[in-house]
Amino acid sequence: MRLLLDTVLSSEFVVYRQIFVDKRQIQTIIERPQSIYANCKAILCGRRPMCGHNEKGWVLCAPIGAVWSRRRVMRELGLKDARGGCMQFHDGVIRATFAGVPLVGNLENGHVIGLDPEGDRLCGELLAGEVSRDEACARNAVLVEHLEQRGFFEHRQPLGITHAYVHVTQRCNLRCKGCYSLDAARNAVDDPLLCDVKRVLSKLASAGVSRVVISGGEPFMRADLPEILAHAKRECGVERIEVLTNGTCISDDCIARIAGCVDHISISLDVPSADQASCVRGYDRLPVLLDAVKRAQKAGISVSIKATMHRKNAGDLDAYAALANELGCGVDYSLLTCPPGGCDADLLPDDEALRRLAQSLVALNRNDMLDELRRGSIGVRAKGSCKAAVNLVSVAYDGEVYPCHMLHREGLSMGNLFRDEVKTIEKSPVRRAFLKFTADDVGECQGCSYKWFCGGGCQARTFDGADVRARRRDDYCVLMKEYFGLYESMLEEVLAR
């Protein structure tokens, strides 16, 4: 590769005329050798970070779109940092602004800290590695302590898989529109053997998975579901076990047998009242579902209803919340997400419906959100991605492992837990590609002020084709922009008082 750079970027930067790539080190003819930081200075050519050393004649190119810290550049060049003792944030730290408040965020753990102007300046220097710990503490010891406690300076150990969906059947008695697990194998293949399911659960637990979601198909169609749950809880010691169900196959006998082995049951609900038409499941089953909620509660099992939101019920969030309050259970919402041609076009939320959903979410939670803001919390978390394949995986009925339950797609398998170990899954090329993904990899997201809070949206909706690196804007981006915009306005109101 040959790169010609004819413009002078700054009097402080080395100007490179001809650059020839030779592995990591790139020999160069340096026209104007001027640099700082112990003869080493990072520059930016287009979107490619580069670093030159004017004595050794080296130039280092980072991957296009990467953001390399000075410490990383020095390490890659094999040079000793002449400014030893300087503090520097790790590569997963970002700076942003929300409601006019400067922020620094840690994409590895989600922590966000709001800053005053001096704190913002200090964090800028910490990001560049331009200030010693003694100087930083002298300027703002409290901020430095918070940053250290929240892991802004040291990378945590490589994150392993902690959450997993396990699909125990591909049989189901319903055919819901937008069902994420619906494919040609629905009701056409045998259930996986009990021994195989148990082996999968044992492998996951041994690898440190603390949360397992049992799904299908309809998991309650398996007569041995209680045995599966008992193995996961009592023999494997999984901390939290949840079951996703359509709620139509839960017998009293099964409830009695699983009590104590399951921490939570989530029952899908189509409509919040009997006088509304069912759009997703075909016909009304509300009485059956409400009865299932009450019977599970009676057995001492935590329950929530899960509403699938679409264009026709976008104004019903408060009705679902009221129903959950009446039942004394929780409520979760999911957005109808379909592959092209996978469900009726008139059900998919348009921009107006998405804005309405965001407005309803904020209205429902306004008092809690205001209380949080008044307590001094910024109320947002730093998010580089949706965490698919990072700490979450999904095991299909045939043992194949995918980045998440919404991404059971050709070319995205990371291995098969019927035969492979979890460590093989964690080292797979697909997972490595997902680990590298951030919201900045979506072209349309790069200029968005909310990208580090939404993480680029749902990767099942941004994934574009067979290339694991290809991403496009989330089709439901409008909802996230509306939500964060409304929340930002709330924070501005609180700060103005």
Report domain extents, the chain: 2-84, 93-149, 163-349+389-429, 368-385+437-497
SS3 357: helix
State the alpha helices, DSSP H only, in 299-439: 317-327, 351-374, 422-426, 429-436
Residue 151: phi and psi, rounded to 5, are: 75, 30
The HSE-up count of residue 177 (CA atoms within 13 Å, CB side) is 21
Euclidean distance between CA atoms 483 and 329, whole angstroms: 25
CA distances from 363 to 161, 318, 356, 358, 487 (A): 35, 9, 10, 9, 10
Residue 68 pLDDT? 47
Amino acid identity at 332: D
State the alpha helices, DSSP H only, in 167-316: 194-206, 225-230, 252-258, 286-298
Euclidean distance between CA atoms 379 and 375, whole angstroms: 10
Residue 64 pLDDT? 40
Digitized pLDDT (tens) for each residue of the chain, 497 residues in all: 233 332 223 333 333 333 333 333 333 333 333 332 333 334 433 334 455 544 444 455 544 444 445 555 555 555 444 444 688 999 899 999 999 999 999 999 999 999 999 999 999 999 988 899 999 999 999 999 999 999 999 877 667 899 999 999 999 999 888 888 888 899 999 999 999 999 999 999 999 999 999 999 999 999 999 999 999 999 999 999 999 999 999 999 999 999 999 999 999 998 999 888 888 887 768 999 999 999 999 999 999 999 999 999 999 999 999 999 999 999 999 999 886 566 777 889 999 999 999 999 999 999 888 888 888 888 899 999 998 999 999 999 999 999 999 999 989 999 999 999 999 999 999 999 999 899 998 989 999 999 999 999 999 998 876 676 778 899 999 999 999 999 999 999 888 87
Euclidean distance between CA atoms 45 and 5, whole angstroms: 8
Euclidean distance between CA atoms 67 and 13, whole angstroms: 18
Residue 211: phi and psi, rounded to 5, are: -135, 125
Sign of the alpha-carbon dihedral angle for 326, 332, 337, 338: negative
Residues 6+ apart with CB under 8 A from 261: 226, 229, 230, 232, 233, 234, 241
Residue 4 pLDDT? 30
Residue 276 pLDDT? 86
Euclidean distance between CA atoms 203 and 388, whole angstroms: 19
Residue closest to 370 by CA, chosen among 181, 497, 478: 497
Residue 63 pLDDT? 44
Residue 378 pLDDT? 83
Out of 3.40.50.620, 3.20.20.70, 1.10.10.10, 3.40.50.10190, select the CATH number for domain 163-349+389-429. 3.20.20.70
Residue 37 pLDDT? 32
CA distances from 295 to 115, 257, 285 (A): 50, 13, 16
**pTM as predicted:** 0.81
Strand runs labelled E in 160-276: 163-167, 211-215, 240-245, 264-269
Amino acid identity at 149: Q
Q: What angle do CA 355, 356, 362 make, to 5 degrees?
A: 90
Euclidean distance between CA atoms 281 and 285, whole angstroms: 9
